[in-house]
Amino acid sequence: MANPKRIGLFGGTFDPVHIGHLRGALEVAEFMGLDELRLIPSARPPHRETPLVGALDRLAMVEQAVVDLPPLQVDDRELQREKPSYSIDTLESLRAELAAHDQLFLILGWDAFCGLPGWHRWDELLQHCHILVLQRPDADSEASEELRNLLAARSASDPLALNGPGGQISFIWQTPLAVSATQIRSLLANGRSVRFLVPDAVLAYINAHGLYRG
Ligand code: ATP
């Protein structure tokens, strides 16, 4: 039997993708020894407003960003669906393509993790994956009682010790780069430079297509 693959999943609107996403993803991939870390652009995010730029442009920018950057890859399955981007659907469709013993790690910022009880079929997520929570020094969200109960039942202190295809939760500490897509959109709308906040290839794409200009 082949060794289990270790695959990380990092979803987002990526409107646009920036060095905060990329550096964070790369650090997690290296720390966890992942075979792949898939960036998964969401089509119609159920939890937030519609992205400013269309799905195909957001996808193209993420593709530009990960050229020559294994193990980072792009998975566009959420853009292929007509429905809203529910993580449970993504996990089920991934699971259908993988060996049963392959390990999936869903990577969530602490804020996103705190919102988990609002997600569609959230109590089924751990049937398909482990959850890695990126803890941030500046986090100010609080876990609800049901999440605290879940943590008490399912958390493991060492993320490197998570075994099996899924079912547990662990934390990774990471100092985030203070960059957000909101800040980048605002700079561009005001005619300011975003050089060094996004990869040069992404900047070239933004310029070539006149994206985010005010
Ligand atoms: P926006 O400003 O439009 O809300 P964003 O910069 O937060 O966007 P998203 O595409 O919404 O980007 O985020 C996707 C994922 O990337 C989320 O899990 C989010 O927590 C994480 N993320 C965003 N910015 C950073 C950063 N600077 N460092 C590490 N992770 C980040």
Q: Is residue 1 a part of any domain in this protein?
A: no
Identify the band that residue 2 occupies on the pLDDT scale cut at 50, 70 and 90.
confident
Structural domain including 21 reads 6-209
Query: Is residue 205 in contact with ligand 1, taking CB distance under 6 Å?
Result: no
Query: Is residue 15 in contact with ligand 1, taking CB distance under 6 Å?
Result: yes
Ligand 1, residue 179: give the atom nearest the CA: 27
CA 181 to centroid of ligand 1, rounded, Å = 7
pTM: 0.93
Query: Is residue 107 in contact with ligand 1, taking CB distance under 6 Å?
Result: no
Q: Is residue 110 a part of any domain in this protein?
A: yes
Identify the band that residue 177 occupies on the pLDDT scale cut at 50, 70 and 90.
confident
C-alpha–C-alpha distance, residues 14 and 20, integer Å: 11
Residues 6+ apart with CB under 8 A from 149: none
Please tell me the predicted confidence (pLDDT) of residue 117.
Answer: 94
Q: Which residues of 136-148 are buried (b: 16+ CB within 10 A; e: fewer)?
A: beeeeeebeeebe
CA 151 to centroid of ligand 1, rounded, Å = 23
Ligand 1, residue 51: give the atom nearest the CA: 3
Q: Is 157 helix (H, G, I), strand (E, B) or coil?
A: coil
C-alpha–C-alpha distance, residues 63 and 199, integer Å: 11
Q: Is residue 169 a part of any domain in this protein?
A: yes
Segment 109-126 shows an average pLDDT of 93
Ligand 1, residue 176: give the atom nearest the CA: 28
Segment 3-9 shows an average pLDDT of 96
**146 torsion bin: left (phi>0), alpha (psi -120 to 50), beta (else):** alpha
CA 135 to centroid of ligand 1, rounded, Å = 13
Q: Is residue 120 a part of any domain in this protein?
A: yes
**77 torsion bin: left (phi>0), alpha (psi -120 to 50), beta (else):** alpha
- Which CATH number covers residue 186? 3.40.50.620
Q: Is residue 81 a part of any domain in this protein?
A: yes
In the chain, the number of structural domains is 1
Please tell me the predicted confidence (pLDDT) of residue 126.
Answer: 98
CA 107 to centroid of ligand 1, rounded, Å = 12
Segment 163-179 shows an average pLDDT of 92
Decide if pLDDT at 52 tops 90. Answer: no
Q: 8-48: per-residue pLDDT in tens?
A: 999 999 999 999 999 999 999 999 999 999 999 998 655 55
Segment 80-102 shows an average pLDDT of 91
Complex ipTM, two decimals?
A: 0.96
Q: Is residue 214 a part of any domain in this protein?
A: no
Please count the other Cβ atoms lying within 10 Å of the Cβ belonging to residue 124. Answer: 13
